[in-house]
Structure 1
């Protein structure tokens, strides 16, 4: 198969996995299904994909990390910054040291520097995998935000540690001062490049569109190009392209608050980004499955490097490493929790007891994924003297096994751990929504009254009643949100029930409209152009109510 056929087969596998996971009589995480389909592709077509890590990083990671940074709740990111930084920085360093010594103890033939490199590359977590696993279980929103924030930041920490471990394995030397300075440069400059690039591009786009206009699809295409530009620019100055992409996404969310984009453009852009996210996430796991047979063959061939002849020792190593990673994460989470409790008590803040099942779920939720796969493939083939890089194939297989076993452990362990668990109270989302609706309703009524006044000044006397009646009807749509503020809880509850009933009725009416238009188009009573335009209007209204 050529490259185009392989790409099409992988896209087909992504589409098929979405249906297959719903057809199965038992619950199975989508990433595991996609990994299995990737292995089937490799086995059936006998043609592997030569995975270039640099191309993999460039094509897949910038847009996905950009989108994660764009959509992650910023209030949660700032509120829990202490816990997120403890996991993204402290836990990664603890994992590199603890898991590195564990791997070297398990496999003495693997040099300590290579063991540290393997530990570093399995330290970053993947929120995509855990999101698919927890889609049907009630994971606390705040915990999910912490896990997402951790995964956005720990990629750079793990990759920097991995880079220094590989350099130590190749050169035989390591400087803590040099490593610390390089880490500061890589992190701070990467973040700065992401912020500056996004602000500059957004300003240039706004200036050009204001003076010369723009095509309808330009903002969408620019949003797709921003993460690649930030990533490449950061890599050119030897900073973290990954952190640049994350910073670009976070900055984009603040740029969006200007509200200058057209509503239709926002709707179209959301659909485009959802499709990109679904396709890239799926292809990453399909690629992982496609690489699995070759990794297994290479590891079996090099198992003698570990001092054993039986290939089943590979499974022992993989299980031991996964258990070690889970215990390190559990210990770190418990210590961090105890420190937070002590700080809260010292400040006189109320402290709520955290259930042990939630603590254990935090440990199991440390699922590995794309960063681990792509990073371990960058291990050099040869040392400077021309000899093969020690235990390279074994390290690649063990990293792949960590990904698979962490997915399995999370998919098996998280649902029973979280099922029926009484979660700590979350921030009052309904209260925030009501506040936003009341503020929006007040602004809407003021805008209607202002526009009504301007229309009445220009309208003839015969049309005054028409404009007044129209304004009254529009104001009535928003007035009940202001009335709710002064009403009791029972009345507010009744208003919400009335809103839900009205929404169902409106959706039924829109479906009836759409079917009638399609019927007219099928019988050639209206043109395709007219039917598409009217159906698009109905679809936009339905998207609003859904």
Structure 2
């Protein structure tokens, strides 16, 4: 394809993303479903060339920044506290599901080698980080369930990738060892963690010495690909390396970034992640044409592969349910025996975790990377695509209803010790103490009376509000409604002055920035 036409196609895809997102919002659909369906329709438009997705390139472009984004915003203390549960999902559930699907596939096709059956299991076993984010952003979950699903989505790709590579190697060489598989996984994971620690530490030391905030944002943007590519280059887990780097950078960004850098960087990064997440689902849809053509057309695929694919999709779902319910049962038995360190999720929480198993770009990329001539390659490719579509359309669209049915509540043990109001009160008191210490000169004379009065009044008001939040909340809402109206009036007057030529562009931008910050602060406080 001509490079100019390729660029035009990319721009057309981003235009389609905006249109599809608007349609999803207009009709109340999950954006992932609209993007997937839109990409599939675009794939069969007359005159549009067939889209050949390079699996390695797709993983390198999309996976690192989206893993980094997940690691950047995940809550670290709950992540550490629930690491056993996360490992159970990210490692145990993936290995168990892979084994179940290998057995089911071999029963359906006895002539298919075990290595090919295991390869299919490895491809479809790990729920996708990108798909999980797209679903979790639309629902409200208790903290423990949220951290379990977010942590799983960050780490399970490493399990799937290792299993896939071992299965393909076994299919080519005819040799496979469970001990070697476990050893390889541990080595790759440990090596990836070491790479992530090194890259993250270097980033912290480097960014501290930068004074230009645009250089800081650029260096942070490249961080994801740096850690991933370095890990893959030395043959360890690039996924673990990227996640580890993201966790380190997230921990230190509060101290190495200025307020301006953090606001600008977050805005820039949010747009990048939005476009990448959306592009992933469109690319999956665009890949439908090639998948169907390889299978011989819709009719042939449905007639020859429809029933086996349905059985595999059901087995995939049941395997996750079996593992999650079984794990929760083990915790209950431990409680009965007096080992009560962990609390069972309960049937409602377990059901939500089990149903949140949407597959996506990693499954597609692994399926497309199966070598030519590998046993059952066409069936693996068609089944993988069907699993993606099935989980996105079924589980992705119904997870919200499942959560509503579950009526989950936040356990007291998972709640933060301070509410937001209490934290704000503590912060205000600390600020007042600092101002009080600096409001007097060396001779004890008060030199900042207005500043002292302002911070004292603010500290008293916030402490009082924290003690009587329910009583003051309606008044506070009304207060910030007035503030937002005042900001809007100020903005209209500022624009009028600029249009009339009374102020220049620089004045407009400076005062508009102040209004923007005031508006954002009011919106945050009002919500």
- TM-score scaled by length of structure 1: 0.88
- Cα offset, 1:403, TM superposition: 0.6
**Aligned equivalent of 2:220:** 223
**Aligned equivalent of 2:36:** 35
Greater mean deviation of Cα atoms: 337-346 or 131-140: 131-140
**Aligned equivalent of 1:261:** 257
2:72 alignment partner, one of 70, 73, 94 = 70
- Alpha-carbon separation, structure 2, partners of 1:357 and 1:256: 37
Secondary structure at the aligned position of 1:217 is classed as helix
**Aligned equivalent of 1:385:** none
How many residue pairs match? The answer is 517
Q: How far does the alpha carbon of each residue in 1:324-371 deviate from its partner, in whole angstroms, 9 at most, with x for none?
A: 011111111111111112223434759978553443332221111111
Contact 2:364 2:385 in 1 (8 A): yes
- Alpha-carbon separation, structure 2, partners of 1:72 and 1:361: 20
Greater mean deviation of Cα atoms: 117-126 or 425-434: 425-434
Matched, 1:508 2:485: yes
- Cα offset, 1:429, TM superposition: 4.8
Secondary structure at the aligned position of 1:331 is classed as helix
**Aligned equivalent of 2:272:** 276
Q: How far does the alpha carbon of each residue in 1:133-171 deviate from its partner, in whole angstroms, 9 at most, with x for none?
A: 455554333212211111111110111000000001111
Q: How far does the alpha carbon of each residue in 1:94-124 deviate from its partner, in whole angstroms, 9 at most, with x for none?
A: 1111101111222334322111111101111
- Residues 242, 475 of structure 1: CA spacing in aligned structure 2 closer, same or farther, 3 A cutoff? same
Secondary structure at the aligned position of 1:525 is classed as coil
1:233 alignment partner, one of 205, 230, 241 = 230
Q: How far does the alpha carbon of each residue in 1:289-347 deviate from its partner, in whole angstroms, 9 at most, with x for none?
A: 000111011123699xxxxx674232222221111011111111111111112223434
**Aligned equivalent of 2:504:** 527
- Cα offset, 1:481, TM superposition: 2.8
- Cα offset, 1:4, TM superposition: 0.7
Contact 1:364 1:406 in 2 (8 A): no
- Cα offset, 1:376, TM superposition: 1.5
**Aligned equivalent of 1:474:** 455
Secondary structure at the aligned position of 1:139 is classed as coil
Contact 1:318 1:398 in 2 (8 A): yes
Q: How far does the alpha carbon of each residue in 1:381-430 deviate from its partner, in whole angstroms, 9 at most, with x for none?
A: 2xxxxxx2222222111101101101122144323322253313343358
Contact 2:30 2:397 in 1 (8 A): no
- Residues 441, 352 of structure 1: CA spacing in aligned structure 2 closer, same or farther, 3 A cutoff? same
- Cα offset, 1:84, TM superposition: 1.0
Contact 1:202 1:255 in 2 (8 A): yes
1:377 alignment partner, one of 368, 373, 383 = 368
Contact 2:66 2:130 in 1 (8 A): no
Matched, 1:391 2:391: no
Consecutive unaligned residues of structure 2, counting only runs of 5 or more, are none
- Alpha-carbon separation, structure 2, partners of 1:345 and 1:365: 28
Contact 2:90 2:152 in 1 (8 A): yes
- Alpha-carbon separation, structure 2, partners of 1:230 and 1:241: 7
- Alpha-carbon separation, structure 2, partners of 1:131 and 1:215: 32
- Alpha-carbon separation, structure 2, partners of 1:351 and 1:164: 34
2:385 alignment partner, one of 400, 408, 415 = 400
1:428 alignment partner, one of 404, 412, 415 = 415
**Aligned equivalent of 2:186:** 184
Matched, 1:7 2:10: yes
Q: How far does the alpha carbon of each residue in 1:163-187 deviate from its partner, in whole angstroms, 9 at most, with x for none?
A: 0000011111123333232212210
Contact 1:104 1:112 in 2 (8 A): yes
- Residues 249, 353 of structure 1: CA spacing in aligned structure 2 closer, same or farther, 3 A cutoff? closer
Matched, 1:101 2:122: no
**Aligned equivalent of 2:128:** 126
- Alpha-carbon separation, structure 2, partners of 1:351 and 1:158: 27
**Aligned equivalent of 2:306:** 315
Contact 1:21 1:29 in 2 (8 A): yes
1:249 alignment partner, one of 238, 246, 249 = 246
- Residues 109, 524 of structure 1: CA spacing in aligned structure 2 closer, same or farther, 3 A cutoff? farther
Contact 2:128 2:157 in 1 (8 A): no
Matched, 1:294 2:281: no
- Alpha-carbon separation, structure 2, partners of 1:280 and 1:70: 16
**Aligned equivalent of 1:413:** 398
- Residues 192, 499 of structure 1: CA spacing in aligned structure 2 closer, same or farther, 3 A cutoff? farther
Contact 1:130 1:410 in 2 (8 A): no
Matched, 1:117 2:119: yes
Contact 1:302 1:391 in 2 (8 A): no
- Residues 420, 93 of structure 1: CA spacing in aligned structure 2 closer, same or farther, 3 A cutoff? closer
Contact 1:134 1:415 in 2 (8 A): no
Contact 1:103 1:321 in 2 (8 A): yes
- Residues 422, 152 of structure 1: CA spacing in aligned structure 2 closer, same or farther, 3 A cutoff? same
Matched, 1:145 2:147: yes
- Alpha-carbon separation, structure 2, partners of 1:380 and 1:351: 44
2:163 alignment partner, one of 161, 164, 178 = 161
Contact 2:421 2:465 in 1 (8 A): no
**Aligned equivalent of 1:384:** none
- Residues 349, 314 of structure 1: CA spacing in aligned structure 2 closer, same or farther, 3 A cutoff? same
- Alpha-carbon separation, structure 1, partners of 2:344 and 2:381: 41
Contact 2:67 2:243 in 1 (8 A): yes
- TM-score scaled by length of structure 2: 0.92
